[in-house]
Amino acid sequence: MFNDDASLPLMAGNRRQTAVNLARRAKRQMLTEVTWRVFLRDGLAGTTARAIAGETGGSIGALYTYFPSTDAVVQELALKSLTELSKKVDESVSFGRGYRAQVGAVVGQVLDFFGPGTKVAELLPVILGATQVDEDGKFAARLNGKLIAVLSPVVEGFETIGLDSTRAQAKALSLAFFVFGLAMFHSTGRMTAIGLSAKNVTEAFLSDVFPP
């Protein structure tokens, strides 16, 4: 018989590493949730390492283990915002109302979420890629995944009206450019100042996408 005793230390080491990875992931998730709460309360300017550490009861040094820079914190907040937005979009999905109405509902969710005066509107420049350094591309990859999740009901809807997957994704992407750009403009309050409403602009856009 073969003696498998030599493999036991390796198996034990793998189990320990798995446990360490799970614990680290849980810790990072907890810190993300705390950071999100601090951000919603105090905005970006108030989301400091000291404020986050104060909420967790931990040290600032321990926080830097998971988020080594201010950019890392802001990027995590941007990703978290899209996770929360995706939940709201999924809750609004009801294709029985007609696809144009459904797309309008998704656009409305985005505009409400990033509306004027909201803390999350501060994250729009990050989501649109205007303010962040992303040398290894990891943030961009994660951001794209989150955006796809937000847009997945829109892609599915375009597919239900007969578009193939590639065209449906292209249509959804054009919608993303429109809605996040509109959200950024809307969040500044300038649309109201010049007599425009996000609702009217959305209706005009949808009329082009879904002509009568």
Specify whether 122 is located in the same domain as 196: yes
Q: How far apart are CA 58 and CA 53, in angstroms?
A: 5
Q: Indicate the DSSP class of residue 95.
A: G
- Among candidate residues 160, 149, 42, 40, the one with its CA nearest the CA of residue 85: 149
Phi, psi of 58 (to 5 degrees): -95, -175
- Domain of 24, CATH number, reads 1.10.10
Considering the domain architecture, whether residues 130 and 180 belong to the same structural domain is answered as: yes
Same domain, 23 and 79: no
Based on the fold, state whether residues 96 and 199 are members of the same structural domain: yes
Helix (H) or strand (E) holding 158: helix 138-160
C-alpha span between 112 and 128 (Å, rounded): 17
Specify the pLDDT at position 191.
Answer: 83
Find out whether 159 and 168 touch, Cβ atoms under 8 Å. yes
3-state secondary structure of 186: helix
Tell me which residue range forms the domain holding 21: 1-68
Cβ contact 207:200 at 8 Å:
no
Task: Yes or no: say if 205 and 192 are a contact pair by the CB < 8 Å rule.
Answer: no
Residue 57 shares a structural domain with residue 117: no
HEC secondary structure over 59-72? CHHHHHHHCCCHHH
Residue among 165, 148, 152, 161 nearest 93 (CA): 152
- Of 14-23, 54-63, 105-114, 199-208, the poorest mean pLDDT is in 14-23
Nearest-CA neighbor of 184 among 131, 110, 134? Answer: 110
pLDDT at 162: 79
User: What is the C-alpha to C-alpha distance for residues 120 and 16, in angstroms, rounded to an integer?
Assistant: 38
Q: Look at residue 175 in the predicted model and tell me its pLDDT.
A: 81
Of 68, 95, 115, which one is at a domain's C-terminal end? 68
Q: Which two tokens stand for residue 13?
A: 């080491």
pTM score of the predicted model = 0.81
Choose one of 68, 91, 119: the last residue of a domain. 68
Residues 166 and 76 in one domain: yes
- Whether residues 28 and 46 share a domain: the answer is yes
Is residue 11 scored above 80 in pLDDT?
no
pLDDT of 129 strictly over 90: no
130 and 182 assigned to the same domain: yes
Q: Which residue has the tokens 């590639």?
A: 166
When divided into structural domains, the chain yields a total of: 2
Q: Quote the tokens at residue 207.
A: 């009329």
| R_g of the chain computed on alpha carbons | 22
Better-scored residue on pLDDT, 107 or 36:
36
Residues 60, 81: one domain? no
Confidence of residue 82 (pLDDT cuts 50, 70, 90): very high
